Amino acid sequence: MGEEKTFYQEYEIFSKRTPSSAFQHQYSLLAPNEEMALIMAQENFMRREPVADIWIVNRKNIKRMNADEKLTLGRLENKDYRTTKGYGYLKKKWRKYEQEILDEKEILSWGGERK
């Protein structure tokens, strides 16, 4: 094993459109090494759209989940206490005190200047 030489190594390509966006998977390609993979990634997948960065990962370095492992990804259905959904009743309670609930939309709007 491993002694056989090949021109075809499998690389998974990830890229992001802007410096602030998250990396996204962009298909895979065959290349003999990382440098060629990078050139081919640009030629194959980034001919038009803006791109800010590219990651090249040899597939042998990726641990994938098999179908049985994917079974562990199921979520319990009674986890409302983890989400704002489980606290929806607060809105009504706050109304009694003549106050608005500080919901996700409100809280995530707080980053800017004081209004």
Q: Which is nearer to other proteins, 49 or 98 (CB)?
A: 49
Q: Which tokens is 95 given? A: 């109304």
Shortest reach from residue 92's CB to other proteins, in Å:
28
- Of 16-24, 74-82, 96-104, 106-114, the segment contacting other proteins by CB under 8 A is 74-82
- The C-alpha atoms of residue 19 and residue 89 are separated, in whole angstroms, by 39
Does the footprint of other proteins cover residue 34 (CB under 8 A)?
Answer: no
Give the count of beta carbons closer than 10 Å to the beta carbon of residue 58.
14
- The C-alpha atoms of residue 101 and residue 98 are separated, in whole angstroms, by 10
Does the footprint of other proteins cover residue 42 (CB under 8 A)?
Answer: no
Q: Give 59's strand partners.
A: none
Q: Which is nearer to other proteins, 50 or 94 (CB)?
A: 50
Q: Which tokens is 59 given? A: 């597939």
Residues in the site for other proteins, rule: CB under 8 A?
1-9, 27-30, 32-33, 36, 40, 43-45, 47, 64, 66-68, 71-76
